[in-house]
């Protein structure tokens, strides 16, 4: 299984990848489009955090393709 990593997932994916390579995800971009109480804000007033947002076909998000060991998948 492969996971697309961008942002903080580049240095802290939550697992030890057995392989990684640079990857681009076409048609998506990073934007402040997700509400969160874990990284910003409170339950009463959630803050915006970066996430993937559907974009124009010509846009792309640069990141890494991280391969997960089959025993960790």
Beta strands in 1-73 (DSSP E): 2-5, 19-26, 28-41, 46-54, 60-67
Question: 35 near 41, Cβ under 8 Å?
Answer: yes
Q: Please measure the distance between the N-terminal and C-terminal CA atoms of the chain and give it in whole angstroms.
A: 7
**72 inside domain:** no
Total number of domains constituting the chain: 1
Q: Is the pLDDT of residue 16 over 90?
A: yes
Q: Which two tokens stand for residue 48?
A: 């915006």
pLDDT bin (cut points 50, 70, 90) of residue 73 is confident
The pTM of this model reads: 0.77
Does a structural domain hold residue 73? no
pLDDT, tens only, 18-61: 999 999 999 999 999 999 998 789 999 999 999 999 999 999 99
Where would I find the H helices in 1-73?
Answer: none
Domain extent, residue 31, equals 2-67
Residue 57 lies in a domain: yes
Find where tokens 């998000």 sit. 61
């Amino acid at each position: 299984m492969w996971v697309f990593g961008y942002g903080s997932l580049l240095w802290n994916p939550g697992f030890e990848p057995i392989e990684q390579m640079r990857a681009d995800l076409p048609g998506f971009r990073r934007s402040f489009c997700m509400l969160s109480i874990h990284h910003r804000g409170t339950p009463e007033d959630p803050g915006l955090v970066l996430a993937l947002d559907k974009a124009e076909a010509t846009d792309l998000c640069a990141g890494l393709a991280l391969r997960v060991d089959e025993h960790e998948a």
